[in-house]
Amino acid sequence: MGVAADEAEAPFADLTPLAPLAVRGTPARAEHGPWTRHLWDRLLNAVPVLLMALLAAVTWWLVKNTPVPGEARPKAPPQHVPDAVMHGFSLNSHDREGELLTRLDGDAARHFPDTDTYEIDGPRVRRVDAQGRVLVASARSGLSNGDGSQVRLSGDARVLREAVGADRLEFRGEQLEFFTRTEQLHSSRPVQVLSGRGELQAGSLDYDHLQRVAQFGGRVSGVFRPPGTKAAEPTDGEGAQASGKKK
Amino acid sequence: ERADRNLPLNFAADSARVDDLRQVTVLSGNVEISKGSIVIRADQVEVRQSPDGYQFAVATGGPGKRASFRQKREGSEEFLEGEAERLEYDARADTVKLVNQATLRRFRGSTLADEVAGSTISFDNTTEVFQVLGGPASPVASGRVRGVLTPRDAKSSSATGSGKP
């Protein structure tokens, strides 16, 4: 086979030898191409390093922000925001024997945790006292403390002591504070009192239902109706607007 | 028969304390109560309501002042004015009792006609009769009664024409 090799050599003599395909250690393409490729290649080499740096940064940030279990986060300042809303609700409070003492109804109520108060739309309070007398209160809006022992009635506020005939007593005012547990009524705004025997207007009121004594301040005026005349029954009923009595 | 007793009793005062249980209303500070032709002014008036709905008022003048009452009929220009340390007005009997340092004057128009003074004067609003009693608390030094009564002259009596029934 040897002799064939020379002819084999001769015809190849005019060919130029190719560059070696890949030589270990020197990048094959690096030497040829514009400088941007050169930069790009450097960058590619840097990518793993960048990744590692990013990873380290993230873990550092993570450590920084994880809350230390012991450290108390600053308590958010209590905003006056309701945490519970009730519609068409009824709150009943009973005495030890289970007798119904006070019942608070309303169209809607919003409970505010920061002041532990209820804002009530259309409150209606019904309270039965020890002697079985019934006190009924209503208003356009009400503000009651947590256990309903104090209800501030605002807007056409009325407290009516239900009784037959002359014993009937109704307090009306722009704002009445009704202390349901101690059965007291207070108002520092003008009030009107309608009873079976007459009427009275005053600048302020303090009524203690237990002793059934009312103290009126500010200029007081009123009338005792002569016996026998039917007490002018004000238009009753839940929200009926009573006509202002022109004396 | 225009009895004042069936008219409402109006009242006004600086403050009032109403005891609903005993039906007692205590009015204090510039108090004025009026019923029909009678108006009472005092520093404090306690109005008690009897079960049948009539009022009984006790008016006191307060320190150094006397309670006063005035009675004026519509249509007649005669009117009565009385003062005493304490006035007791019984709305059912329609009488006013002036107690301690009591004086009662009757005016015709603006002229003073009659005047009496004594320890106690009681005036019946229906019959328009008043009775004067002497006693220690009379403004008259001797504790007796003193009075000046002016006869009604012809002109004025016919004018008023309020002859007694």
Q: Average model confidence (pLDDT) for chain A?
A: 80
Q: Which of A192, A204, A224 best probes binding to B when mutated, by most B CB atoms within 10 angstroms?
A: A224
User: What is the CB-side half-sphere exposure of residue A63 using CA atoms within 13 A?
Assistant: 5
What pLDDT shows up at residue B141?
74
Q: Hey, which bits of A10-116 come out as E strands?
A: 84-94, 100-112
Per-position DSSP letters for A93-155, written without gaps between them: EE-TT--EEEEEEEEEEEEETTTTEEEEES-EEEEE-TTS-EEEEE-SEEEEETTSSEEEEEE
Higher-pLDDT residue of B39 and A197 is: B39
Q: For residue A95, is it within any domain?
A: yes
Token pair for B45: 């008036």
Percent of chain A with pLDDT strictly greater than 70: 79
Question: Considering only CB atoms, which chain A residues are within 8 Å of B49?
Answer: 197, 224
Nearest-CB residue to B53 (from A216, A221, A228): A228
Task: Identify the residue with better confidence: B24 or A68.
Answer: B24
Place of tokens 């009675």: B71
In DSSP terms, A85 is beta-bridged to A110
Q: Which of A48-57, B18-27, B70-79 has the lowest mean pLDDT?
A: B70-79
For residue range A54-109, what is the model confidence (pLDDT) as tens digits?
999 999 999 888 877 766 667 777 778 888 898 998 888 888 888 888 888 899 99
- Which has more pLDDT, B102 or A164? B102
Interface of B with A in 106-165 (CB under 8 A): none
Would you say residue A21 lies in a domain? no
Q: How many domains does chain A have?
A: 1
In a domain, A139, yes or no: yes
Tell me if A227 and B54 make a contact (CB, 8 A cut-off).
yes
Q: Give the domain extent around A99.
A: 84-245
The residues, ordered by sequence, that sit 6+ positions from A157 with a Cβ below 8 Å of its Cβ are: A137, A138, A139, A140, A172, A173, A174, A175, A176, A187
Chain A closest CA to B160's CA: distance in Å?
30
State how far the Cα of A58 lies from the Cα of A81, in Å rounded to an integer: 37
* Cα of A245 vs its chain's centroid, Å: 41
Note whether A9 and A17 are within 8 A (CB): no
pLDDT at res. B41: 94
Choice among A30-44, A134-148, B28-42, B95-109 with the minimum mean pLDDT = A30-44
Contact A78, A113 (CB under 8 A): yes
Kindly state the helix (H) or strand (E) to which residue A64 belongs, with its residue range: helix A35-65
In a domain, A71, yes or no: no
| Residue B4, helix vs strand vs coil | helix
Which among A219, A220, A224 has the least Cβ separation from residue B55? A224
Q: Residue A7: its pLDDT value, please?
A: 55
CB of A202 within 8 Å of any CB in chain B?
yes
Do A213 and B17 count as a contact with CB atoms less than 8 A apart? yes
Task: State how beta strands B67-72 and B38-49 pair.
Answer: antiparallel
The predicted model gives B30-44 an average pLDDT of: 92
* pLDDT of the residue at B72: 85
Contacts of A137 (CB under 8 A, 6+ apart): A123, A124, A125, A126, A127, A151, A153, A157, A158, A159, A160, A176, A178
**Assigned domain for A55 exists:** no
Is the residue at A210 inside a domain? yes
Residue A165: band (very low, low, confident or very high) from pLDDT cuts 50, 70, 90: low
Q: What is the phi-psi region of residue B132: left when phi exceeds 0, alpha when psi lies from -120 to 50, beta otherwise?
A: beta
Residue A158: CATH number of its domain: 2.60.450.10
pLDDT tens-place string over residues A223-241: 988 876 655 444 444 433 3
A12: in domain: no
Closest CA to B41 of B15, B65, B77, B73: B65
Tens of pLDDT, residues A171-212: 999 999 989 888 899 999 999 999 878 899 999 999 998 888
Q: What tokens does B140 get? A: 């008259």
The reply to whether A112 falls in a domain is yes
Contact A195, A172 (CB under 8 A): no
Residues 54-93 of B with CB under 8 A from A: 54-55
B68, B41 Cβ separation under 8 angstroms: yes
Determine contact, residues A150/A178, Cβ cutoff 8 Å: yes
How high is the ipTM of this complex?
0.78
